[in-house]
Amino acid sequence: MQIIFHIDLNAFYASAEVSVDPTLEGKPLVISGNSRRAIVSTASYEARKYGIHSAMPLFQAKQLCKNLVIKPVNFTLYRNLSQSFFEIIRSYSPILEVASIDECYVDFSDYFSKHPGNPVLLAKQIQNEVYEQLKLKCSIGIAPNKFMAKMASDMKKPMGITVLNRHNYKELMWPLDISDMFGVGKKTAPRLKEVGILTIGDVANYDNYNKLRQIIGKNALLLYRKANGIDTSKVNYQKGELKSVGHSTTLQFDTADVVVLNDTLKELTMKVSKRAKDKNLISNSIGITLKYSRFETVSRQTLINDYTNEYEAIISTVKYLFDNNFDGRPVRLLGVSLNNTINQTKYLKQMNLFEDIKHKSSNNHIEDFIKNVNHKSNYKLMTAAQLLNKKE
């Protein structure tokens, strides 16, 4: 039998801000722009107690909570934490499918065939490790298929663990409102309710199948099967391919010692380079993260001319970013990352013809260089003078 986990970071953007600024812990917090037309991207659980939710106009959220804390979106922070989250999960099982920036499916079937044990205990271990390393809370659903695992992870938040299986899914899942069913959209739920399909149990009832098909068409059978606990889709680990490779570390002591900070950056870069090579990944986007002792985080990245995973190329850019962004204050955390990585086998390096010609020209070997290129390829290159002579 399959053992699938769905792991979902709770109120991710808001929790990410708290992870780098503990003074925000317990406060009603939203992630949003601060313009007149801004909407709430994520609301902390404290903010949700006021009735605030994602997609709500910010002005309404302010009316509901006078002491609301508003933080702008920081995608660099979220991406780095997301990457670290997936790295932790992947250390348990490589069969991981990234569902979004803050959630994934993991197939632990092979894991438990080799390490017999209680899935709930493993889920607790994962929760503890994610929280200890990243200060992020997650909910975990455990089930024999992806759909039920997804439904289970939504049942207890934050830091919940729910097991959904053949024995209890009717009791736990069928009474839920139809709008809570994964795969039923906000526009579809009201239409289903209009024809009397109010709960997931109603979807599972074959007597309602024709009504279901009238509303959602060819997907009716798929939804009917899922409501009855049947889902044959597999965890697609190809969707778990790394998009970035990063390492960060919290220093033992806050320090402004440039020698210590540079040595730490070298160690982190070595780890990043090794992991990228092990995964056969390359990138032309290099980033660093500096977290100061007053909880301020600075993330910077830059593009380089070519894709690489070589230590020397990465560390030179890391040093450049550090020198241009370190302001002398004590640092608590350092991070190095390769972003937007691609598999090395998919990269075709374009021949930089003019750069090579320029190099050759200094030795008056342009014609020899062109002959060599023509000999080794299907090109028929010639100099401008040769082209003019040909026209004459």
Residues 229-256 pLDDT 10s: 999 999 988 766 667 788 888 888 889 9
pLDDT of 33 reads: 82
pLDDT of 16 reads: 95
Tokens found for residue 133: 């390393």
Record the pTM.
0.67
pLDDT of 48 reads: 97
pLDDT of 380 reads: 66
pLDDT of 392 reads: 47
What is the Cα–Cα distance from 157 to 227, expressed in whole angstroms? 22
Q: Quick check: is 312 catalytic? A: no
Task: Name every residue whose Cβ is closer than 8 Å to that of residue 61 and which is 6 or more positions away in sequence.
Answer: 30, 32, 40, 43, 47, 50, 52, 68
pLDDT of 237 reads: 80
77 in helix, strand or coil?
helix
pLDDT of 248 reads: 85
Q: Annotated catalytic residue: which of 25, 46, 103, 129?
A: 103
pLDDT of 292 reads: 85
Alpha-carbon distances, residue 391 vs 249, 380, 384, 385 (angstroms): 65, 16, 11, 10
pLDDT of 165 reads: 96
Residue ranges in the chain modelled with pLDDT below 50: 351-364, 391-392
106 contacts 150 by C-beta, under 8 angstroms: no
Angle at 133 between CA 274 and CA 239, to 5 degrees: 60
pLDDT of 366 reads: 58
Alpha helices in the chain (DSSP H): 12-20, 45-48, 58-64, 75-90, 109-114, 119-134, 146-153, 169-172, 188-194, 200-204, 209-216, 220-227, 258-278, 311-325, 353-361, 366-376, 384-391
